[in-house]
Copies of this chain bind each other. A is one copy, B any other.
Amino acid sequence: MKIKEKTKNINQKIAAVGLFLSGIIVGTTIVATVSAQRETDKVLEIAKARGLNPDHIEAALKTYHPTGMKDEYIMFSSGGHSGQVIVIGIPSMRILKYIAVFTPEPWQGWGYDDENIEILRGDLCDPQRAKLTWADTHHPAISETNGDYDGQFLFIGDKANSRLAVISLKDFETKQIVCNPLGNSNHGAAFVTPNSEYIIEPSQYAVPQGGRYAPIDKYAEQFRGYITFWAFDRAKGRIDTEKSFAVEVPPYWQDLCDAGKGPSYGYAFCNSFNSEMATGRKTLDSKEPPLEVGVSANDMDYLHIINWKKAEELVKAGKHKEVVGVGGFKFKVIPLDVAAKERILVFTPEPKSPHGVDVSPNGKWIVVGGKLDTNVSVYSIEKIKKATEANKFEKTDRYGVPIIAFKDALEAQVQIGLGPLHTVFDDKGFAYTSVFIESVVAKWKLEEWKLVEKLPVHYNIGHIAAAEGDTVAPDGKYVIALNKWSIDRFSPVGPLHPQNFQLIDISGPKMKLLYDMPIPLGEPHYAQVIKADKLSPWLVYPEVGFSPAKMKKSAHAVEFGKEKIVRKENKVEIYMTAIRSRFTPEIIEVNQGDEVTFYITNVERAREATHGFALGGYNVNISIEPGETGSFTIKADMPGVFPFYCSEFCSALHLEMAGYLLVKPKK
């Protein structure tokens, strides 16, 4: 009913504008502007026909991008259990790319090319994790310099399997995957320190150290969490596993982290939500509470305050242990007792099933949202430092970790609504918190600690992202509500619905909803939004014969006209070129049982002249972008005649860009 009334009002409003304009026309004779007037009439007519009110018209004009107009911002969103990253233009809300990270994706040839199969196997990965074909990507982090996004790299973690990926923003391709040998789940990864010195990966569901077995009733004694600091070698564009370390923490189910900056530089803040150490119902007839109840029993859990600068020094001083983890890989760990004793790990209480922890742009404030709370709790780094330096702790937890009293660390609480989760910031001192249960975005003022406004979102907002939101200098302009459910917002597409990203204009005094964007694949968690002009991706690879995996010229590149087939006993190497519209060689005969490796160089230099190489029956499709050398290896165990063809539409004679692999049967 309400909607109907609203529509009626809107229509009246539009009619009023129309009436006004046509009244004017009658009363005036400005011939020169009649055509402009017609345009205005048309605008109103279309708007009326489509039921658009003035706010809608404004939103349409703020988000519409005519052909060739570029987006101002680029958003990198996790894909959740798709295992990938989604790249979205802001404010047009168009998906520009789906970056294959942990999950094979044949359009990009990801998981089919020999070199990226190698990346997918990962570093420090046990045999089981080396074979994984999916991930649960949660939190992307753009690399930072001096606390500002520098547009060079993107990091993202796999919650399900404790892995972390490095993506280059030169070609938007994944360059490295590392496995954490300490356990089986993270959640928060990835968060970067202000110069990307480290990428922070907190574990989530505690497990026995190194993935060992331990009975569930040994939970308190043998299960542990870890906050891992992966050292990043920017020059190499890779994580340096040798320089990385972890801080052992109690089995309290750690959740998200954020790195300090400015006055809080050198610290990381992570929350936890199972200080109860609940382990659920051990049998089907158990009278114990289920996990959701047991884990939520306490009013307070512990904000983990980690001094990573000091931890780094301790590791340099050799005060860590070398732990043998999953797959037999060794990893540097600062044991819990050392972390507690050295004040590398300090706690302070945080209320009501804490979830998000976010450091303000000036680095002074740490904002925590409690899933079952109605407040956000704001902690002061100054107070935390003061208490720590003064050794002013109210007690220690059972593992000896010192606890700063709530009142000694807290600056303020702001009542904003039921179920606050995550907080982002603008350029004017406002904070924007996603409020899940109430399904709103709450805008509140930092330092005045006052709620300003709430905007309903549709529905069940999880994370929230802001333009340059995690930097020392956010841009304002836009926040994006990453809503978990869309329910009735879009045309139905079966029982599995899209999520809904809502773009909100925060440039004015009031928040304004601009756009609803369905998320058709994956279940995004967090997203980061960077100014588009900070990115300078390659349009084609820098030289012909380039290996994206090695980020330099491939040893297997071949020049046009120098193609060759090299046979050594039952190994065959094909050095092929691809150019519009032919492969050379194009007829290849091998013997059944041969191991055949194709090295294919796309010798094109034209932007977008990508060639695919698809081989029927043999489960091969690789994507070879201009300049790239791709490769794959098959065991030719299936005799027959197998057409191969260019799978990326490249020219008028694209269909003719084909050939045959003939596999001659054994006698």
Out of B83, B96, B128, B627, which one reaches A491, CB within 8 Å? B96
Residues of B near A58 (CB, < 8 A) are 39, 42-43, 46
| CB <8 Å contact, A537 and B494 | yes
Chain B residue with Cβ nearest A18: B36
| CB <8 Å contact, B32 and A24 | no
Residues of B near A643 (CB, < 8 A) are 184-185, 204-205, 207
**A46-B58, A89-B490, A292-B656 are known contacts; what are 17 more A-B pairs with Cβ within 8 Å?**
A39-B57, A43-B58, A52-B64, A57-B61, A87-B520, A97-B498, A97-B520, A103-B104, A106-B134, A281-B584, A291-B586, A291-B658, A296-B653, A436-B652, A495-B541, A496-B610, A496-B623
Residues of B near A33 (CB, < 8 A) are 16-17, 19-20
Given the contacts A128-B617, A563-B284, A493 and B64 also touching, CB distance less than 8 Å: no
Residues of B near A46 (CB, < 8 A) are 58, 61-62
Q: Which 7 A-B pairs have the closest CB atoms?
A: A60-B64, A106-B134, A205-B643, A172-B494, A495-B625, A20-B33, A98-B521
Kindly identify, within residues 550 to 585 of chain A, every residue whose CB is under 8 Å from any CB belonging to chain B.
563-565, 581-582, 584-585
Chain B residue with Cβ nearest A72: B491
| CB <8 Å contact, B67 and A502 | yes
Among A68, A94, A462, the one with the most B-chain Cβ atoms within 10 Å of its Cβ is: A94
Whole-angstrom distance between the Cβ of A390 and the nearest chain B Cβ: 35
Chain B residue with Cβ nearest A564: B284
Cβ of A95 under 8 Å from chain B? yes
| CB <8 Å contact, B106 and A82 | yes
Residues of B near A53 (CB, < 8 A) are 66
Kindly identify, within residues 483 to 501 of chain A, every residue whose CB is under 8 Å from any CB belonging to chain B.
484-498
Chain B residue with Cβ nearest A628: B495
Kindly identify, within residues 362 to 403 of chain A, every residue whose CB is under 8 Å from any CB belonging to chain B.
371-372
Cβ of A517 under 8 Å from chain B? yes
Cβ of A299 under 8 Å from chain B? no
| CB <8 Å contact, A608 and B487 | yes
Chain B residue with Cβ nearest A106: B134
Cβ of A215 under 8 Å from chain B? yes
Chain B residue with Cβ nearest A104: B133
Residues of B near A86 (CB, < 8 A) are 520
Out of B94, B161, B540, B584, which one reaches A617, CB within 8 Å? B161
Whole-angstrom distance between the Cβ of A406 and the nearest chain B Cβ: 22
CA distance A12 to B148 in the complex (A): 39
- 6 pairs of residues in contact across A and B, judged by CB atoms under 8 Å: A20-B36, A40-B40, A136-B647, A184-B641, A353-B653, A372-B652
Stretch from A73-81, A139-147, A236-244 contacting the other chain: A73-81
- Total identical chains: 2
Given the contacts A62-B46, A490-B94, A496-B172, A81 and B612 also touching, CB distance less than 8 Å: yes
CA distance A462 to B655 in the complex (A): 12
Stretch from A192-200, A313-321, A464-472, A659-667 contacting the other chain: A659-667
| CB <8 Å contact, B652 and A371 | yes
Kindly identify, within residues 122 to 141 of chain A, every residue whose CB is under 8 Å from any CB belonging to chain B.
128-129, 131-136
Residues of B near A98 (CB, < 8 A) are 520-521
| CB <8 Å contact, B136 and A614 | yes
Out of B95, B161, B485, which one reaches A608, CB within 8 Å? B485
Q: How many residues of A contact B (CB 8 A)?
A: 201
Chain B residue with Cβ nearest A625: B495
| CB <8 Å contact, A523 and B291 | no
| CB <8 Å contact, A13 and B42 | no
Among A74, A80, A213, A485, the one with the most B-chain Cβ atoms within 10 Å of its Cβ is: A213
Kindly identify, within residues 294 to 342 of chain A, every residue whose CB is under 8 Å from any CB belonging to chain B.
295-296, 326
Residues of B near A614 (CB, < 8 A) are 81, 136, 159-160
Cβ of A451 under 8 Å from chain B? no
| CB <8 Å contact, A69 and B51 | yes
Out of B295, B496, B564, B640, which one reaches A184, CB within 8 Å? B640
One digit per residue, 1 when the CB lies within 8 angstroms of any chain B CB and 0 when it does not, for chain A 348-364 equals 00000101000000000
Out of B61, B172, B586, which one reaches A290, CB within 8 Å? B586
| CB <8 Å contact, B32 and A616 | no
Whole-angstrom distance between the Cβ of A652 and the nearest chain B Cβ: 5
Cβ of A280 under 8 Å from chain B? yes
One digit per residue, 1 when the CB lies within 8 angstroms of any chain B CB and 0 when it does not, for chain A 89-133 equals 100011111100001111110011000000000000000110111
| CB <8 Å contact, B656 and A108 | no
Given the contacts A213-B662, A280-B659, A61 and B47 also touching, CB distance less than 8 Å: yes
Residues of B near A187 (CB, < 8 A) are 655
Chain B residue with Cβ nearest A656: B292
Given the contacts A61-B52, A81-B614, A538 and B660 also touching, CB distance less than 8 Å: no
